[in-house]
Structure 1
Amino acid sequence: MISLRLSLLFTLIFTLIINQTYSKKDRKTYIVYMGDHPKGMDSTSLPSLHMTMAQKVLGSDFEAKAILHSYKKSFNGFVIKLTEEEAERMAEMDCVVSVFPNKKHQLHTTRSWDFIGVSKQIQRTSLESDIIVGVIDTGVWPESKSFSDEGFGPPPSKWKGSCHNFTCNNKIIGAKYINIEGDYGKDDIVSPRDAQGHGSHTASTIAGNLVKSASLEGFASGTARGGVPSARIAIYKACWLKIGCPEAETLAAFDEAIADGVDIISISTGFNNIEFFPYFQSAYDIGSFHAMKRGILTSNSANNLGPRFSSMTTYPPWILSVAASTIDRRFLTKVQLGNGVVFDGVSINTFDLKNKMFPLIYAGDVPNTAGGYNSSTSRFCIDHTVDKHLVKGKIVLCDKIVSPGDIGVLSGAAGILVGATDAKDGQTTYALPAAFISLRNFKLAHSYMISSRNSTATIFRSDEDNDSQTPFIVSFSSRGPNPITPNTLKPDVAAPGVNILAAWSPLYPISTFEGDKRAVHYNIESGTSMACPHAAAAAAYVKSFHPNWSPAMIKSALMTTATPMSPTLNPEAEFAYGAGQINPIKAVNPGLVYDISEADYVTFLCGEGYTDKMLRILTKDHSRCSKHAKQEAVYDLNLPSFALYVNVSSFSRVYHRTVTNVGSKTSSYKAKVVSPSLLDIQVKPNVLSFTSIGQKKSFSVIIEGSINADILSASLVWDDGTFHVRTPIVVYGDREVITWST
């Protein structure tokens, strides 16, 4: 009896040991995301909060080292090892947004394509090699491996283009340059060859070949590739080092590209200032309208003038306007003060200071008085405002975000630390060691500098990191609403535009500083300029499956299949991200599309105040405006989005739309509306039944209600059980409209 009891006891102990051991072995690394910092709680207190949460979940198994890392600078969360059951319990806590495994990903230079689901193994058609993308930019560096024509056959027979002062191949099948007044700078190259890097970057993002072991000095090492690597590229150099991208050159580039027979146009340029013009008073409106008439969709960057509302500068409904979103790659740059304090900054710092400490100085204390500047300007480190002799060999504190070109005057400095209101947007490269740091850490560094006669600091080479908060729209990306036509939604979609590595011209340094001697063949860039070619490639991918689709159908497919984004991370909601982040795979089979003809746009322009005479000049036909068109045109334009501007407390508006069946031959779609309680949205009829491909069905959307917020977001989804055709709905009230130039 005694031996039986001992046996049972030993069995129980053994089982407990085995279970505990198994439990520990079964633990995996999880990320616990908790949104923004709790109100009233200092970020330094967050680790103790994380410890408390871990204790509640792990109980007696808790150890201090269980918390692997605390996120406390720009958002709230932590990394911890948990079993699946413990992760479920953690996710049930009120303060937790999500808990998810820390998946191991292989770093790719074009991580952006994997991030939105476009893997190397996705389905492609043989027609992809017949797709020609026209890139209006700074030219191209043809020697880049991204543009090799190995394995390519001759250009498609439809191609009418040529190459000017440039040797093309079967990848780059067209190359022209436009400088109407012959105004060249000393470093400009009088050919389509890229002297700046921007054009090579955008072109390779669209259609670059697969290039192994590409990186920026070791960062983002992997295989570079474009979204449609089998497609052809036609280059139109309209941008120059000396004169920028004049409208005349831009419009000429449109003219050439349309005539040459491109299928898609990508143009990552725009106005430098926030200015509003009626339609057809810019090269973008005109060029893209005529491209549309010839069946060519134009993808255009939304601009980098955000985050203000109405900061976009091109907004016609026939253009695809693209906002810049983040991917799950970011770069952190550690900063250490002489007193031992260490904190993370943001930048892409390729320099290594070998842990050497340098004197710390504040730019506001060393103005360039000989140049007539004082501390009120020098503290921002603006070009020529700082005494370069006094900052030589020192790390300089600058009061706010500066552009790369602003800090050329600090080339004698050991480095700079910039106080940033939104450090997440500081992921760029400088001509010297640099880091964007939070305002709190900036004050910390400044206080230390004041309190110590021999204050020092150092900046470490950047580390790559995974950003669990993605995707969100970066603050520099321009926002809607449309200032000219408030009842249309802009931007249309979002696409990756941060930390994108692609081909580069070795003639141009990594940074914009003239003295930077680092020559590279691949560079990491951020901007809506990088988002635009992603959307252009997605459009080209859809076109390769549906060569006869109109520009509006392709645009509709990209919008209605876009992945919804978080209004919590983007308080401007649809005015930040439009319909959401592009999903090229889904866009190939959208189920239904909203098509728009040239005649529909003409009717729309009637509603915008264009006279019969103006329209006849534009269309060269007998276009006339009806009374109904003038009153209702904007609400009846067949866009895959709904926007309603109201300046009254209650409202009622009717929209008319028509969808074309491109999904299943026989299908029945039911309308599903998601909306806030303040809105009453009705769809009539609420069921659309189709019996053939290409069949069209019309419906009405009635939006009624009241508004007590800046923006009310809703959506309409046509669902047949297979396809989910989502259309955003936005109702908004008065917003500040910016009308000045800077």
Structure 2
Amino acid sequence: MKALITFIFSLTSLFFSFSLFTETGGAAAEKDGVYIVYMGAAASSKGSLRDDHAQLLSSLLTRKKNALVHNYKYGFSGFAAILSEEEAHSIAKRPGVVSVFPDPVLELHTTRSWDFLKYQTSVEVESNPNSDSNSTSQDSDGAIIGILDTGIWPESESFNDKAMGPVPSRWNGTCAREQDFNASNCNKKIIGARSYDVDQRSIIKYHSPRDMIGHGTHVASTAGGSEVQGVSYYGLAAGTAKGGSPGSRIAMYAVCSPHNGCSGSSILAAFDDAISDGVDVLSLSLGAPSFLKPELANDPIALGAFHAVQHGIIVVCSAGNAGPTPGSVVNAAPWIVTVAASTIDRDFESDVVLGGNKVIKVMIFFGPLSCLLVGRFRHFYSLTDIQGEGINFADIQKTPTYPIIYAKSAKKSGADENDARNCNPDSMDQGIIKGKIVVCDNEDSLYAPSEKKDEVKKLGGIGVVLIDDESRTVASTFGIFPMTVISSKDAAKVLSYINSTKNPVATILPTTSPTKYKPAPNIAYFSSRGPSTIPKNILKPDIAAPGVNILAAWIGNDTVEAPEGKEPPLYNVISGTSMACPHVSGIAATVKSRNPKWSPSAIRSAIMTTAIQINNLKASITNEKGTAATPYDLGAGEVSTTGPLQPGLVYETTTIDYLNFLCYNGYDISTIKNITNNIPDGFTCPKESSIDLISNINYPSIAISNFNEKAGRKVNRTLTNVAGDDKTEDAKTVYTVSIDAPAGLDVRVVPDKLQFTKNGDKSSYQVSFSAVNPLKNDVFGSITWSNGKYKVRSPFAVSSKNDD
């Protein structure tokens, strides 16, 4: 089963996406396929069909009895059906239909991580008074986290319901009854489980919420898993596993199958059910590929999320794994919380030890370096400088006794030199490779590192040292075969040793998992980047969270992931924005449980405005290049575990904001009325509906595109006081603004003080941007309001008039 999944380990845009399929709109290529007919808001009576919906569906089923795939009627209106291309075009013209589009196939985009976030919060306490390092999320009882993913492995200890109270009475969901999953698999932790047929025409069907891939189980335990002590990955990363909101309940909506991917029609069906079931948070670690971003009206996630938010549900999504390419962020609708991936302070270290007295043994690689010299020698090669990354359980000599060669020198006669040095199949001479450790480049994307490993192993090689700067930051699993990944800087030292030594020897050490690695966090190289392209006037991603080398629960029958001779892993280490998303979902659940009346936008604002911008060296968080990360990399910053519980002020993005957003995007009022029935009386689209006006939506960050230095730009924002209540001093306060602006950009805020007298008070301000000279590049800064106890920070991004 696991062999059906493509784990992409390369420099392509789908790296670490755990992609099931890379193409979308599979039905578009054929005339008879599954189409989604989206008709906007549901009928006012829950579960009943709108008249136009019922008539259209009845007409269809009269002609084609088995055409219906899904029927949407709770949170929104519409259906998915098997249609011809001609039928789809015809239905698109019918009254009440907003859009008709081919059913897309989307892709799937922890012990230490939560401890690290708590540590980072305590580091930030001095500069951010919102943070309370003594606060805990353990009392977050009652929130319900709905997860759209591959399913769940209910037997995992992370889903035990010890000491949990009764299931909330407001829960309307169900527990599936399938051959391998039934009501007994649900408990007071897993309170719901549903699954969806992807396509009635599919030859291979899998209809169960039981996870056969692992992704959904990993995500669910990260967001809301119970506390489990003594967890590790075969002894590595040992500690106590827990979710971000261990008191929350989990409802799994299995929308991805091992054979058929994650269909948009199933995702919409899950949104529809989740709205009816009564979840508080929806977590989606999946999305469209960055190169196939759909329009809002054709995007199942954007559409489903819009209606979920209208029903008071906060929706959290992964940003995608197509980084570091600019403009690659997905799930960028303004009603979605979009999450980037960052590293934590734990490494999976597998080092290369060189022979010939060419090593300095460093006792530990963080903090002040302490060195132990090994003999006297001319060239110093520090073990710190030759630290590898990767998970292997190799059982070979720990002293450097194995011959080591550069793969280029083993080129087979007639083979391409580039293929040889990259250790590509059928490019190296077995007689030269046998019995040696082989140093391989990884400069092409034709073959995955695992394929290079298999080729060297097939030729009798002892081990592999892979050169790859990006892969060096993310641990891959190599089983019992000695393999590690090193940086190009360290590779220069290794190759110099090989070339300057008559009989070079080395070994590869088995993996260890030291903590307190510095600097951390960094933004993961694979994490998709802003600016958003739909549109650029909303700053995305919103927030960053741990997504690299995350240990969490796994399926219990996965022999593929188990090293030779080992039982299947109960917990696994994987990476991706998929892993970052549930960290934020767990925190959102905690905030919701503490503040049940807060709107989804208030919770998002609390998460964003209390984010952390410094690493564990108390310097700016950096990107994969080691330079200061921008809001296009990390949004507002690294998520705080406790800051969002006490934000002081919040930016509430209202229904009017979202309606104006649709107007500014070119939707007319009749289409908008079809999309939502939550339109205030008398609302019409503004006469001036320029896309640039999106910058004026009351969002916790500010993004301005097509900036003209001569005209300048002004935007407005409104803050709501959520501190204390009318009887406490917190509710009566004055905030003062501070501005961090880049050189060449003049930023002014009027007024510079905001006064609040009670909880719920609102106060507005205007930001003016101007410049003397044209901007050469996108520039970034922030606006922060503080009353001495709370800090409320909003990042901004300004791009030039000529910037595409």
Question: CA–CA distance in 1 between the matches of 2:530 and 2:235?
Answer: 37
**In the alignment, does 2:261 pair up with 1:212?**
no
Q: Residue 531 of structure 2 corresponds to which residue in structure 1?
A: 481
Question: CA–CA distance in 1 between the matches of 2:217 and 2:775?
Answer: 47
Deviations 1:29-57 (A, max 9, x none): xxxxxxxxxxxxxxxxxxxxxxxxxxxxx
Spell out the pairing of 1:343-742 with structure 2 (5 A cutoff). 343-355=386-398, 357-360=401-404, 362-363=406-407, 374-377=416-419, 379-381=421-423, 394-400=436-442, 403=448, 406-407=451-452, 409-410=454-455, 412=458, 413-422=461-470, 424-431=472-479, 432-446=481-495, 456-465=505-514, 466-508=516-558, 511=561, 519-565=568-614, 566=620, 569-620=626-677, 624-630=684-690, 633-646=693-706, 648=708, 650-663=710-723, 664-705=730-771, 706-733=773-800
Given the superposition, is the C-alpha separation of residues 696 and 385 from structure 1 closer, same or farther in structure 2, using an over 3 Å criterion?
Answer: farther
Given the superposition, is the C-alpha separation of residues 117 and 723 from structure 1 closer, same or farther in structure 2, using an over 3 Å criterion?
Answer: closer
Aligned residue among 121, 135, 140 for 1:122 = 135
8 Å CA contact 1:429–1:510 kept in 2: the answer is no
Range with greater deviation from structure 2 (616-625 or 167-176): 616-625
Question: CA–CA distance in 1 between the matches of 2:693 and 2:540?
Answer: 17
Given the superposition, is the C-alpha separation of residues 384 and 550 from structure 1 closer, same or farther in structure 2, using an over 3 Å criterion?
Answer: farther
Range with greater deviation from structure 2 (485-494 or 414-423): 414-423
Given the superposition, is the C-alpha separation of residues 553 and 418 from structure 1 closer, same or farther in structure 2, using an over 3 Å criterion?
Answer: same
8 Å CA contact 2:121–2:133 kept in 1: the answer is no
Aligned residue among 221, 238, 242 for 2:259 = 242
Question: CA–CA distance in 2 between the matches of 1:669 and 1:286?
Answer: 37
Question: CA–CA distance in 2 between the matches of 1:184 and 1:454?
Answer: 58
1:681, distance to aligned residue in structure 2 (A): 1.4
8 Å CA contact 1:672–1:717 kept in 2: the answer is yes
8 Å CA contact 1:363–1:381 kept in 2: the answer is yes
1:612, distance to aligned residue in structure 2 (A): 2.3
Question: What is the DSSP-based 3-state SS (H/G/I as helix, E as strand, rest coil) of the residue aligned with 2:275?
Answer: helix
8 Å CA contact 2:529–2:632 kept in 1: the answer is yes
1:256, distance to aligned residue in structure 2 (A): 2.4
1:571, distance to aligned residue in structure 2 (A): 4.2
Given the superposition, is the C-alpha separation of residues 715 and 147 from structure 1 closer, same or farther in structure 2, using an over 3 Å criterion?
Answer: same
8 Å CA contact 2:435–2:462 kept in 1: the answer is yes
1:157, distance to aligned residue in structure 2 (A): 0.8
| TM-score between both structures, scaled by the size of structure 2 | 0.72
* 5+ residue gaps, structure 2: 1-110, 123-131, 360-385, 615-619, 724-729
Q: Which amino acid aligns with 1:344?
A: Q
Q: Which amino acid aligns with 1:615?
A: I
Range with greater deviation from structure 2 (486-495 or 570-579): 570-579
Q: Which amino acid aligns with 1:727?
A: S
1:337, distance to aligned residue in structure 2 (A): 3.6
Range with greater deviation from structure 2 (134-143 or 646-655): 646-655
Question: What is the DSSP-based 3-state SS (H/G/I as helix, E as strand, rest coil) of the residue aligned with 2:191?
Answer: strand
Given the superposition, is the C-alpha separation of residues 365 and 258 from structure 1 closer, same or farther in structure 2, using an over 3 Å criterion?
Answer: farther
8 Å CA contact 2:561–2:568 kept in 1: the answer is no
Q: Residue 39 of structure 1 corresponds to which residue in structure 2?
A: none
Q: Which amino acid aligns with 2:466?
A: V
Spell out the pairing of 1:88-103 with structure 2 (5 A cutoff). none
Question: CA–CA distance in 2 between the matches of 1:292 and 1:596?
Answer: 11
Q: Residue 11 of structure 2 corresponds to which residue in structure 1?
A: none
Given the superposition, is the C-alpha separation of residues 655 and 242 from structure 1 closer, same or farther in structure 2, using an over 3 Å criterion?
Answer: same
Q: Residue 269 of structure 1 corresponds to which residue in structure 2?
A: 286
Q: Residue 34 of structure 1 corresponds to which residue in structure 2?
A: none
Q: Which amino acid aligns with 1:642?
A: I
1:235, distance to aligned residue in structure 2 (A): 0.9
Question: CA–CA distance in 2 between the matches of 1:406 and 1:429?
Answer: 13
Question: CA–CA distance in 1 between the matches of 2:788 and 2:499?
Answer: 66
Q: Which amino acid aligns with 1:122?
A: S
Question: CA–CA distance in 1 between the matches of 2:565 and 2:470?
Answer: 26
Q: Which amino acid aligns with 2:254?
A: K
Question: What is the DSSP-based 3-state SS (H/G/I as helix, E as strand, rest coil) of the residue aligned with 1:463?
Answer: coil
1:253, distance to aligned residue in structure 2 (A): 2.4
Question: CA–CA distance in 1 between the matches of 2:234 and 2:425?
Answer: 27
1:427, distance to aligned residue in structure 2 (A): 2.1
| TM-score between both structures, scaled by the size of structure 1 | 0.77
1:140, distance to aligned residue in structure 2 (A): 1.4
8 Å CA contact 1:345–1:423 kept in 2: the answer is no
Deviations 1:85-138 (A, max 9, x none): xxxxxxxxxxxxxxxxxxxxxx95743343344999734586x32111011122
Q: Residue 15 of structure 2 corresponds to which residue in structure 1?
A: none
Question: CA–CA distance in 2 between the matches of 1:191 and 1:386?
Answer: 46
1:415, distance to aligned residue in structure 2 (A): 2.8
Question: What is the DSSP-based 3-state SS (H/G/I as helix, E as strand, rest coil) of the residue aligned with 2:602?
Answer: helix
Given the superposition, is the C-alpha separation of residues 691 and 649 from structure 1 closer, same or farther in structure 2, using an over 3 Å criterion?
Answer: closer
Given the superposition, is the C-alpha separation of residues 526 and 617 from structure 1 closer, same or farther in structure 2, using an over 3 Å criterion?
Answer: same
8 Å CA contact 2:198–2:263 kept in 1: the answer is no
1:479, distance to aligned residue in structure 2 (A): 0.8
1:232, distance to aligned residue in structure 2 (A): 0.4
Question: CA–CA distance in 1 between the matches of 2:426 and 2:650?
Answer: 54
1:319, distance to aligned residue in structure 2 (A): 0.6
8 Å CA contact 1:109–1:215 kept in 2: the answer is no
Question: CA–CA distance in 1 between the matches of 2:759 and 2:585?
Answer: 26
Range with greater deviation from structure 2 (474-483 or 439-448): 439-448
Given the superposition, is the C-alpha separation of residues 534 and 681 from structure 1 closer, same or farther in structure 2, using an over 3 Å criterion?
Answer: same
Question: What is the DSSP-based 3-state SS (H/G/I as helix, E as strand, rest coil) of the residue aligned with 1:195?
Answer: coil
Range with greater deviation from structure 2 (582-591 or 703-712): 703-712
Given the superposition, is the C-alpha separation of residues 435 and 632 from structure 1 closer, same or farther in structure 2, using an over 3 Å criterion?
Answer: closer
Range with greater deviation from structure 2 (457-466 or 222-231): 457-466
Given the superposition, is the C-alpha separation of residues 438 and 630 from structure 1 closer, same or farther in structure 2, using an over 3 Å criterion?
Answer: closer
1:628, distance to aligned residue in structure 2 (A): 3.4
Q: Residue 112 of structure 1 corresponds to which residue in structure 2?
A: 116
8 Å CA contact 1:132–1:231 kept in 2: the answer is yes
Given the superposition, is the C-alpha separation of residues 509 and 709 from structure 1 closer, same or farther in structure 2, using an over 3 Å criterion?
Answer: farther
Q: Residue 161 of structure 2 corresponds to which residue in structure 1?
A: 149
1:601, distance to aligned residue in structure 2 (A): 0.5
Question: What is the DSSP-based 3-state SS (H/G/I as helix, E as strand, rest coil) of the residue aligned with 2:308?
Answer: helix
Given the superposition, is the C-alpha separation of residues 574 and 388 from structure 1 closer, same or farther in structure 2, using an over 3 Å criterion?
Answer: farther
Q: Which amino acid aligns with 2:171?
A: W
Given the superposition, is the C-alpha separation of residues 403 and 185 from structure 1 closer, same or farther in structure 2, using an over 3 Å criterion?
Answer: farther
Q: Which has the higher contact order (CA 8 A, sep 6+)?
A: 2
Range with greater deviation from structure 2 (555-564 or 434-443): 434-443
Q: Which amino acid aligns with 1:662?
A: V
Range with greater deviation from structure 2 (257-266 or 420-429): 420-429
1:422, distance to aligned residue in structure 2 (A): 3.4
Deviations 1:324-364 (A, max 9, x none): 11222112211124545452212233333233744545555
Deviations 1:655-693 (A, max 9, x none): 011111111221112222221342221212222212221
Question: CA–CA distance in 2 between the matches of 1:449 and 1:475?
Answer: 30
Question: What is the DSSP-based 3-state SS (H/G/I as helix, E as strand, rest coil) of the residue aligned with 2:261?
Answer: coil
8 Å CA contact 2:706–2:803 kept in 1: the answer is no
Deviations 1:420-439 (A, max 9, x none): 12354232322433211121
Given the superposition, is the C-alpha separation of residues 608 and 392 from structure 1 closer, same or farther in structure 2, using an over 3 Å criterion?
Answer: farther
Given the superposition, is the C-alpha separation of residues 337 and 503 from structure 1 closer, same or farther in structure 2, using an over 3 Å criterion?
Answer: same
Question: What is the DSSP-based 3-state SS (H/G/I as helix, E as strand, rest coil) of the residue aligned with 1:693?
Answer: coil
Given the superposition, is the C-alpha separation of residues 386 and 150 from structure 1 closer, same or farther in structure 2, using an over 3 Å criterion?
Answer: farther
Question: CA–CA distance in 2 between the matches of 1:600 and 1:132?
Answer: 27
**In the alignment, does 2:136 pair up with 1:136?**
no
